[in-house]
Amino acid sequence: MPGFWYGGDYSPEQWPPAVWEEDDALMRQAGVNTATVGVFAWSTLEPAEGTYDFTWLDRTLDRLHANGVRVILATPTASPPPWFSLAHPDALPVTPEGTQRWHGSRDTYCAAAPAYREAAKRVTAALGERYAEHPAVAMWHVHNEYGTPCYCEHVAAAFRCWLRARYDGDLAALNDAWYTRFWSQGYRTWDEILPPRDTQYLPNPAHAVDFARFWSDELLAAYREQRDILRGHTPDTPITTNFMLPDGYQMLDFWRWSAEVDVVAIDHYLNATGVAGTIDVAFGADRARSFNRNRPWLLMEQAVSTMWPGHGEMVTAKEPGRLLRDSLAYVARGSDSVLAFQWRASRGGSELHHAAMVPHAGADTRVFREVAALGRTLSGLDEIVGSTVRASVAILWDADTRWALELPVTPSRHLRYVPALRDTHAALWRAGAVADFARYEDDLSRYAVVFAPSAYLLSPAAAKSLASYVEGGGHLVLGCFSGVVDERYQAWLGGFPGGLLEALGVRVEEFHPLAPGQTVALTDGATGQLWSEDLATHGAEVLAGYRGGVLDGKPAITRHTHGEGTGWYVSTFLNEGSTDRLVRRVLDAAGVRPELPGAPEGVEAVRRHGSDGRSWLFLFNHTDNTATVPAHGRELLTGAHIEGALRLAPLEVAVIRETRPPEVN
């Protein structure tokens, strides 16, 4: 089936058959061609241990297939039924404080519990066997949003096993790495090691980061078991699981996980309204594309209305037109799908107030009309499927650093990893440059500029990769509080950023965190916040110094030529305007042009490129004014022929099949 995958999570098991008929009709009306089925349906599928009821699922798959809807079939293992937890209380998750959680919600299981793993494998095998030949099944969706943490005895045992492998069975090596002479933590046997449960005072950070690595790997092992069972039944059907990307939910090392799925799929719920929400779309989409090694990826869930700007306190309904804009913004940045949670709003249950493609009020609603219009729009864009996005700048994304910076042992709890990355990404968005995310071990030389806003945890290998990137001609922009600890969470000695003193031509001696709201002025007119550092240059040119305060007269922003390239160092967090100025200056110095030179302020431009040399320019006018944008080609939403300039109304979107090859960076 060609075209974008359009649709959402579909739970017919929650509704009587009369509603199914209406679903079929409305899906046709909305141009829905994809349904994700079975995500939390374990108790319906297996009402008692080993007893399966497939009747509803057989009918659903047959019906969807007859209706021209492909199925992403999920394993239901994110929500074990009550009979399971009562039979296996040891498979319930335990908090760091030692409290056992009970069933009554979802995701209430311990992924390291043998009984859970066995039950998950059984139900997966049953599904694989039954539906291996079903023509509706286009993809497997293993589990849902892996992440539930646990600190029980099963986890302790699995953690020890993982540690033995990591430290080659050498407990002395673990004691060294964890620096256990501090606070009398020396371990004499592996069995003395616990998960980082609630303890008296500050945790050992090396222990905590190893546990985070372990838990990501343990969940990955659980995923792999299911994947391999399904692969055995259907070797040619792609298999994935959905990553959850909000800032507070980072249990997985997405790079490692991405290598194990056939296509990266993300769930993305906006954390802000207005243009900030739009930038959040770009942040999620750019990460998903990068995790999928720049191939088209899947938006597995979004909310067709509602955002969570109030951090869980209240939702905000998306304004009319936003669904189209956001959906095409994911597509512009490489998604080959527009899928939502969920098709029909649940009548009851914990998420009865969650937005859906068919709201409680029915099809005669603004939301459903927009959903149907979006389906029509997407069906006119089929030719774009499979094309890719090109970026000439990258931001480094590192799971270890994210975990390391969240621990309460750093000099300031206001210094956070994801917000630092977001600030840089947003400045690039405002500068009109599309950014990839990258890892230290990637071939960074394909990027003209690499930003590392907070490379706090830097292994010697990672530092070497950054240094060679600069030597080879790249522009590295390193943010403050970088190269501070290595992969064992031990400080780099001799000055920061560890491993990069030569490449950057600076040496940081001491940190001076700033209180929230406190700012520091720089000599070039910029403003710093949250953080400042006492540094000296060793060959680097000073672009701006601190003005006033204890660091008065000392360097703040530097630039150093090293080998063929340039190492920039920024020793504070610049405010938005100052970040924008610096980012534009670096892009200029590296010869990076915006995606669409000449695009007016507030107009977002992103391109997808086909393998045959064709390109499609996506334009979004995020302003309240009509904008005139340079473009040549066929506008696919209206069919208009554009010769030289396109007028975009406030908040309008356009997709242009270009007739003139874009200028390449």
Q: How many CA atoms lie within 13 A of 126 on its CB side?
A: 20
CB of 300 to ligand GLA, least distance (A): 8
Q: Active-site residue among 21, 46, 97, 145?
A: 145
Among 46, 145, 326, 398, binds ligand GLA (CB under 6 A): 145
Kindly state whether residue 351 participates in binding ligand GLA, applying the rule CB under 6 A. yes
What gap in Å lies between CA 188 and CA 176, rounded to an integer?
Answer: 12
Kindly state whether residue 532 participates in binding ligand GLA, applying the rule CB under 6 A. no
Q: Which is nearer to ligand GLA, 303 or 617 (CB)?
A: 303
Q: Which is nearer to ligand GLA, 358 or 629 (CB)?
A: 358
Q: Which is nearer to ligand GLA, 105 or 189 (CB)?
A: 105
CB of 357 to ligand GLA, least distance (A): 14
Q: Which is nearer to ligand GLA, 42 or 341 (CB)?
A: 341
Angle between helices 417-430 and 274-291 (to 10 degrees): 100
Q: How far is CA 374 from the centre of its chain?
A: 24
Q: Active-site residue among 46, 218, 301, 406?
A: 301
Distances (CA, A) of 242 to 10, 39, 74, 212: 15, 11, 10, 19
Q: Decide: 91 and 84 in contact? Cβ < 8 Å.
A: yes
The DSSP call for residue 433 is -
**Which is nearest to 532 in space by CA: 457, 195, 418, 515?**
515
Q: Kindly tell me the sign of the dihedral angle through the C-alpha atoms of 420, 473, 506, 496.
A: positive
CB of 130 to ligand GLA, least distance (A): 23
Kindly state whether residue 326 participates in binding ligand GLA, applying the rule CB under 6 A. no
Q: Binders of ligand GLA among 200-229, rule CB under 6 A?
A: none
CB of 540 to ligand GLA, least distance (A): 45
Among 63, 166, 231, 354, binds ligand GLA (CB under 6 A): 354
The site that binds ligand GLA (CB under 6 A) totals a number of residues, namely 9
Give DSSP secondary structure letters for 504-524: HTEEEEEEEE--TT-EEEETT
Q: Which is nearer to ligand GLA, 106 or 554 (CB)?
A: 106
Kindly state whether residue 267 participates in binding ligand GLA, applying the rule CB under 6 A. yes
Q: Which is nearer to ligand GLA, 267 or 336 (CB)?
A: 267
Is 301 annotated as catalytic? yes
Kindly state whether residue 249 participates in binding ligand GLA, applying the rule CB under 6 A. no
Q: Give the start-end residues of each E strand in 372-524.
A: 393-396, 435-438, 449-452, 475-479, 506-513, 519-522
Among 46, 301, 533, 604, binds ligand GLA (CB under 6 A): 301
Q: Decide: 341 and 403 in contact? Cβ < 8 Å.
A: no
What gap in Å lies between CA 114 and CA 488, rounded to an integer?
Answer: 30
Q: Which is nearer to ligand GLA, 269 or 616 (CB)?
A: 269
Kindly state whether residue 280 participates in binding ligand GLA, applying the rule CB under 6 A. no
CB of 36 to ligand GLA, least distance (A): 9
**Which is nearest to 335 in space by CA: 384, 274, 383, 391?**
384
Kindly state whether residue 442 participates in binding ligand GLA, applying the rule CB under 6 A. no
SS3 335: strand
Kindly state whether residue 269 participates in binding ligand GLA, applying the rule CB under 6 A. yes
Give DSSP secondary structure letters for 532-587: EEEEEESSPEEEEEEESSTTTTSEEEEEEEETTEEEEEE-SEE-HHHHHHHHHHHH
Q: How many residues does the chain have?
A: 665
Q: Which is nearer to ligand GLA, 235 or 312 (CB)?
A: 312
Q: Which is nearer to ligand GLA, 156 or 317 (CB)?
A: 317
CB of 368 to ligand GLA, least distance (A): 19
What gap in Å lies between CA 47 and CA 291, rounded to an integer?
Answer: 37
**Which is nearest to 212 in space by CA: 189, 194, 191, 196?**
196
CB of 301 to ligand GLA, least distance (A): 5
Region of 474 (left: φ > 0; alpha: ψ -120 to 50; beta: rest) is beta
Could you tell me the end-to-end alpha-carbon distance of the chain, in angstroms, rounded to an integer? 35
Is 21 annotated as catalytic? no
Kindly state whether residue 341 participates in binding ligand GLA, applying the rule CB under 6 A. yes
The interface mask with ligand GLA, positions 125-144, x = CB under 6 A, is -------------------x
| Interface contacts to ligand GLA, rule CB under 6 A | 144-145, 267, 269, 301, 303, 341, 351, 354
| Residues designated catalytic | 145, 301
